[in-house]
């Protein structure tokens, strides 16, 4: 497994604990998906010099994180 590119899967025990509402397991789940959420939150913006650059839209990032937490808590095994 390439540690810099792949994180692997969340352990089943962490998933079950997150579904049951364990706050530490939910934090671990959010941390596991944080890079992907950041990627989805990228937006192209204009810099002061007129060039385009990519930035993480913090509002979108937080909304996606909240949707992940909601989806985890609603998930049924």
Rounded average pLDDT over 38-65 = 95
Rounded Cα–Cα distance for residues 39 and 56 (Å) = 8
Number of domains in the chain: 1
Q: Which has the higher per-residue pLDDT, 27 or 8?
A: 27
Q: Is the pLDDT of residue 18 over 60?
A: yes
Rounded Cα–Cα distance for residues 38 and 64 (Å) = 9
* Full residue range of the structural domain in which residue 43 is found: 34-77
Residue 6's pLDDT band, with cuts at 50, 70 and 90, is: low
Instruction: Judge whether 64 lies within some domain.
Output: yes
Instruction: Judge whether 77 lies within some domain.
Output: yes
Our measurement of the distance from residue 44's CA atom to the centroid of its chain's CA atoms, rounded to an integer in Å, reads 19
46 Cβ contact partners less than 8 Å away, ≥ 6 residues apart:
52, 53
Which pLDDT does position 9 carry in this prediction? 93
Rounded average pLDDT over 30-44 = 97
* 29 close to 14: Cβ distance less than 8 angstroms: yes
Percent of the chain with pLDDT over 90: 82
């Amino acid at each position: 497994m390439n540690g810099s590119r792949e994180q692997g899967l969340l352990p089943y025990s962490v998933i079950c604990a997150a579904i049951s509402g364990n706050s530490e397991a939910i934090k671990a789940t959010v941390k596991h998906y944080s890079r992907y959420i950041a990627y989805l939150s990228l937006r192209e913006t204009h810099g002061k010099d007129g060039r385009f650059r990519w930035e993480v839209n913090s509002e979108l990032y937080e909304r996606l994180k909240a949707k992940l937490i909601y989806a985890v808590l609603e998930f049924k095994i």
